[in-house]
Structure 1
Amino acid sequence: MAEFSLLDRSRTIAPPGYNRWLVPPAALAIHLAIGQAYAFSVFNKPLGSLISGDPAAPAPTDWTPTQIGFTFSIAIVLLGLSAALFGKWLERVGPRKAMLASALCFGGGFLIASLGVSLHNIWLVYFGYGFVGGIGLGIGYISPVSTLIKWFPDRKGVATGMAIMGFGGGAMIGSPLAVALMNHFKASAPQGVAPTLICMGIIYFLFMQFGVWTIRVPADSWAPAGYVPNQEHSALITTANVSADNAIKTPQFWLLWVVLLTNVTAGIGVLETASPLIQDTFSDKAMGAGLGVTAAAAAGFVGLLSLFNLLGRFFWSSASDKLGRKVTYAIYFGLGILLYASIPTLGHNLQLTLYVVVACVIISMYGGGFATAPAYLSDLFGKYQVGAIHGRLLTAWSTAGVLGPLIVHVLHDSAKERGLAGAAAYQNVFYTMAGVLVVGLLADLAVTAVNEKYHEKGPVVVEAGGH
């Protein structure tokens, strides 16, 4: 159809002399928007007091924290599933059409969720923000990745880090925006939630259009001036190509799946409990009257972790261009094991400053793990269908999004039942997560070059409308 020709991949091919540094801002626009998912918790208390109007005294018909929490879990599960399902479609149609689909789903998810809030129907909220919005998350997350890797074969870590850091920083925009809007609409709607969701859906849809209409892909024959495919870091870097269907048949893909699963499981466990964790560990009872960590200080701690999540995505993925991907992940796991194992001791000894520093380093490597993964995949499988392969790998994130919080809650609840409190109640959580990282380290060390039998034979065929 002629009216959709502007969305065709052929219309996004950059002309000769195009500046490739104009591409990362387009990718960043998408990731800064969908990164709002990390700020969903700002809606927890307002959503839990729509009937009563008082978060401290919810009505019997108000939604419980568990019911509300399912919304985020559904969104993260759908992120991984949709990234896996639509990855090959993305490679075929190109990033512009995929980014527009992401914007429609992500923005539309807010609008459907708003209707659910107005009708006080939690299933509509699940369907809107969780299911439809989650599909937008998955397509949006992978849509710039293969394009950036094609533009930056010489700096894959830098390029993907620039985009994916946006997802880590999305909460820094989404959280204050949601709070400001809810305060503005509080007089006209319960807790101001429904109109806030409408406004955010429209704002994010429009913001994502910058990425949709400015994204460009390089011509198939393009390469940076003077670029020669190199093997300087290790024999893992291939000049061949592996299709998405063949990639999942290789042991390397599943080893990287375990690598991402373990890195995210451990990190998300800390992020998900950051506020109660530091308040329980450094309470007035432990530190002395008036000396404990307050709720406001704990919120500052959470904000600091978000900042290091963002910075780690760029720093570590950029460092991987020099160190190599396998070595970088070995640092994540090796250093992570030591830091996780030290947290209980630091808490027991009430060493607050060092505790915060260690937590920030841990979360920087959690973020770095996300940003380094696409470059690792490109090293092993080539750039042919790396977006689709990345999409399938993100099912590890969906799994970790359930597994990480589950491990934390089960172990913490068990410790409380035994009468433990403060740092002691979280001790087994961190020792267990250190053990999880051991598994990730072993998986990373086992990664070798992909067997040639999985390589595409002959020149890669360009499909109609894309790769």
Structure 2
Amino acid sequence: MFGFLAKENSVARPGFNRWMVPPSALAVHLCIGQAYAFSVFNGPLSKVIGVDSPAPDDWKLTTLGWIFSIAIFFLGLSAAFGGKWLEKVGPRLTMFVAACCFGGGFLVAALGVHLHQIWLVYLGYGVLSGIGLGLGYVSPVSTLIKWFPDRRGLATGLAIMGFGGGAMIGAPLAVFLMDHFKSATSVGVIETFVIMGVIYFISMMIGAFSIRIPAADWKPEGWTPPAVQNKLITKANVHIDQAMKTPQFYLLWIVLCLNVTAGIGVLSQASLMIQETFKGAVTPAAAAGFVGLLSLFNMGGRLFWSSASDYIGRKMTYFIFFVVGAALYAAVPYMGHIGSIGLFVAFYALVISMYGGGFSTLPAYLADLFGTKYVGGIHGRVLTAWATAGVLGPVLVNYIREYQIGQGVPAGDAYTVTMYIMAGLLLIGFLCNLAIRPVNAKHYMQEDAVKPAAPSPSVSVGGMQPAGAR
């Protein structure tokens, strides 16, 4: 079986339809995207002993918040190390290992809940499933960029949109299973973890076995690489290790970190946040629907914004994310104060669409700046920003909330300060994106050193790109 998983055995034969590759990516990303729905477990996990209400020995929300943060931290860590390994062994073996880690992590977490040992839950869902998240996340990205050189933004959107949509399946599935297994002595989390772990393992294995990579000299039929017209797009390649010596790498790292910090803090507590903001008006089931809606916009935004970036440029796309996003975050607390559930939901849905779009546009941005040869490994290292944000975002939301409530602030108003902080972070991200320039030719690989990108006088400073330059 390990021979079948080898990189050389996953090369597509002549005539292979490249549109068969996105479903393989979705089979993995729709599973690991369940991480965005983990907030539906927080309430039940805080009542494992008390069942109907928290008992003195039950876990607090601040304790449970670290499960998600650890998972995202190990996502970034495994992506950073696994990205380079992926380029060596190929996506099939990487996706196989991801399936074992992600599905197995659920089983270890179930054991932790059964024994009421939080460290086992941290180890299972946090560490093991987190590693599965990272490996599963980066596996299809560079593969699809190679299959779709004519539509880099579309390709990364196809690869990553499933991760945003995972909660749309994971949230209602988890709620259904917990309701089914709930009893007078159990909240139903243990059985739910076991079943979901098995389902996700099977689905990810299907994706691993069906993925294909193009031959080294493959290109779409009838397609000729266009002359470079956008000064931010290069035909040269930068090695993974050399990319980390450029200012562009660190500017994009900060851009991703700040964009993710703002969005992930909301996603980690979305279910509880809307219930506390509109206390009595939003039921747990409706809150799960809100989580699912955010997942839908997260997924749709990944495809929409990354595809749009093929036309308006990556830099301009991020300009929109940061300017519009900051305005919406600053306006959200007011929507809660006036009791407008509709506008509250609409604003967050738009914010999360841009949050998701930031993820899917990033690999194309990296390919533009550093070339396609090592984009998978470079992408993996930039995802350490996600690991940082995975801790920073939920910690900001959880601990500022706890402090506010401790000072006598009503639970529904405890998120106001946090939203203003998130808006400020996005403005810093705007400045970092504004500072990004083409990579200096001295960083190109030796065989590419004579291929600097030729700037076009028709390109705006925002990095906008005419349709013929795609």
Check whether TM > 0.5: yes
CA distance in structure 2 between the aligned counterparts of 1:201 and 1:278, rounded to whole angstroms: 28
CA distance in structure 1 between the aligned counterparts of 2:86 and 2:32, rounded to whole angstroms: 17
- Letter in structure 1 aligned against 2:426: L
CA displacement 1:155-189 (0-9 Å, x = unmatched):
11112112211111112222233333334444698
CA distance in structure 2 between the aligned counterparts of 1:159 and 1:184, rounded to whole angstroms: 39
CA distance in structure 1 between the aligned counterparts of 2:182 and 2:286, rounded to whole angstroms: 26
- Letter in structure 2 aligned against 1:156: R
CA distance in structure 1 between the aligned counterparts of 2:414 and 2:182, rounded to whole angstroms: 38
Equivalent in the alignment of 1:442: 431
CA distance in structure 1 between the aligned counterparts of 2:344 and 2:177, rounded to whole angstroms: 34
CA distance in structure 2 between the aligned counterparts of 1:261 and 1:411, rounded to whole angstroms: 19
Equivalent in the alignment of 1:244: 240
- Letter in structure 2 aligned against 1:263: N
Q: Secondary structure at the match of 1:252?
A: helix
Q: Secondary structure at the match of 1:4?
A: coil
Map 1:139-218 onto structure 2 (within 5 A).
139-186=135-182, 190-218=186-214
Structure 1 residue 338: Cα displacement: 2.1
**1:240–1:455 CA contact under 8 A, matched in 2:** yes
**2:166–2:295 CA contact under 8 A, matched in 1:** no
CA distance in structure 2 between the aligned counterparts of 1:363 and 1:55, rounded to whole angstroms: 32
Give the TM-score normalised by structure 1.
0.89
- Letter in structure 1 aligned against 2:248: Q
- CA 1:31–1:45 in structure 2 vs 1: closer, same or farther (change >3 Å)? same
**2:106–2:125 CA contact under 8 A, matched in 1:** yes
Structure 1 residue 293: Cα displacement: 4.5
Structure 1 residue 226: Cα displacement: 3.0
- CA 1:183–1:283 in structure 2 vs 1: closer, same or farther (change >3 Å)? closer
**2:154–2:310 CA contact under 8 A, matched in 1:** yes
**2:62–2:398 CA contact under 8 A, matched in 1:** no
- CA 1:431–1:150 in structure 2 vs 1: closer, same or farther (change >3 Å)? same
Equivalent in the alignment of 1:266: 262
Equivalent in the alignment of 1:48: 46
Q: Secondary structure at the match of 2:4?
A: helix
- CA 1:448–1:278 in structure 2 vs 1: closer, same or farther (change >3 Å)? same
**2:248–2:436 CA contact under 8 A, matched in 1:** yes
CA distance in structure 1 between the aligned counterparts of 2:125 and 2:165, rounded to whole angstroms: 19
Q: 1:23 aligns with which of 15, 21, 24?
A: 21
Gaps of 5+ in 1: 285-291, 461-467
**2:68–2:390 CA contact under 8 A, matched in 1:** no
Q: 1:222 aligns with which of 218, 223, 237?
A: 218
- CA 1:281–1:125 in structure 2 vs 1: closer, same or farther (change >3 Å)? closer
**2:10–2:212 CA contact under 8 A, matched in 1:** yes
Q: 2:307 aligns with which of 291, 312, 318?
A: 318
CA distance in structure 1 between the aligned counterparts of 2:339 and 2:7, rounded to whole angstroms: 57
CA displacement 1:88-122 (0-9 Å, x = unmatched):
11100000010101011111112222222333322
**2:36–2:267 CA contact under 8 A, matched in 1:** no
Q: Secondary structure at the match of 2:296?
A: helix
- Letter in structure 1 aligned against 2:101: C
Instruction: Indicate whether 1:369 and 2:358 are aligned.
Output: yes
Q: 1:404 aligns with which of 393, 396, 399?
A: 393
Equivalent in the alignment of 2:468: none
Q: Secondary structure at the match of 1:448?
A: coil
Q: Secondary structure at the match of 2:3?
A: helix
Structure 1 residue 459: Cα displacement: 7.2
Q: 2:100 aligns with which of 104, 108, 131?
A: 104
Equivalent in the alignment of 1:360: 349
Structure 1 residue 454: Cα displacement: 1.1
**2:40–2:271 CA contact under 8 A, matched in 1:** no
Q: Secondary structure at the match of 2:446?
A: coil
Q: Secondary structure at the match of 2:345?
A: helix
Structure 1 residue 415: Cα displacement: 4.8
- CA 1:198–1:300 in structure 2 vs 1: closer, same or farther (change >3 Å)? closer
Structure 1 residue 371: Cα displacement: 0.9
Q: Identity, % of aligned pairs? A: 59
Farther-moved stretch of structure 1 (318-327 vs 350-359):
350-359
- Letter in structure 2 aligned against 1:170: G
CA distance in structure 2 between the aligned counterparts of 1:131 and 1:427, rounded to whole angstroms: 31
CA distance in structure 1 between the aligned counterparts of 2:263 and 2:227, rounded to whole angstroms: 31
**1:229–1:239 CA contact under 8 A, matched in 2:** no
**1:233–1:324 CA contact under 8 A, matched in 2:** no
Equivalent in the alignment of 1:256: 252
**2:238–2:445 CA contact under 8 A, matched in 1:** yes
CA RMSD of aligned residues (A): 2.4
Q: 2:381 aligns with which of 377, 389, 392?
A: 392
Farther-moved stretch of structure 1 (442-451 vs 268-277):
268-277
Equivalent in the alignment of 1:66: 62
- Letter in structure 2 aligned against 1:375: A
- CA 1:389–1:305 in structure 2 vs 1: closer, same or farther (change >3 Å)? same
Q: 2:35 aligns with which of 26, 31, 37?
A: 37
- Letter in structure 2 aligned against 1:436: L
Instruction: Indicate whether 1:431 and 2:415 are aligned.
Output: no
Farther-moved stretch of structure 1 (420-429 vs 31-40):
420-429
CA distance in structure 2 between the aligned counterparts of 1:362 and 1:112, rounded to whole angstroms: 34
Structure 1 residue 426: Cα displacement: 3.7
CA displacement 1:328-364 (0-9 Å, x = unmatched):
0111011112222233344444444333322211111
Structure 1 residue 296: Cα displacement: 4.6
CA distance in structure 1 between the aligned counterparts of 2:447 and 2:291, rounded to whole angstroms: 51
CA distance in structure 2 between the aligned counterparts of 1:418 and 1:380, rounded to whole angstroms: 48
CA distance in structure 2 between the aligned counterparts of 1:450 and 1:31, rounded to whole angstroms: 31
CA distance in structure 2 between the aligned counterparts of 1:68 and 1:282, rounded to whole angstroms: 23
**1:46–1:193 CA contact under 8 A, matched in 2:** yes
Matched residues, number = 449
- CA 1:359–1:321 in structure 2 vs 1: closer, same or farther (change >3 Å)? same
- CA 1:379–1:438 in structure 2 vs 1: closer, same or farther (change >3 Å)? same
CA distance in structure 2 between the aligned counterparts of 1:180 and 1:279, rounded to whole angstroms: 19
Equivalent in the alignment of 2:125: 129
- Letter in structure 2 aligned against 1:23: V
Equivalent in the alignment of 1:464: none
- CA 1:110–1:410 in structure 2 vs 1: closer, same or farther (change >3 Å)? closer
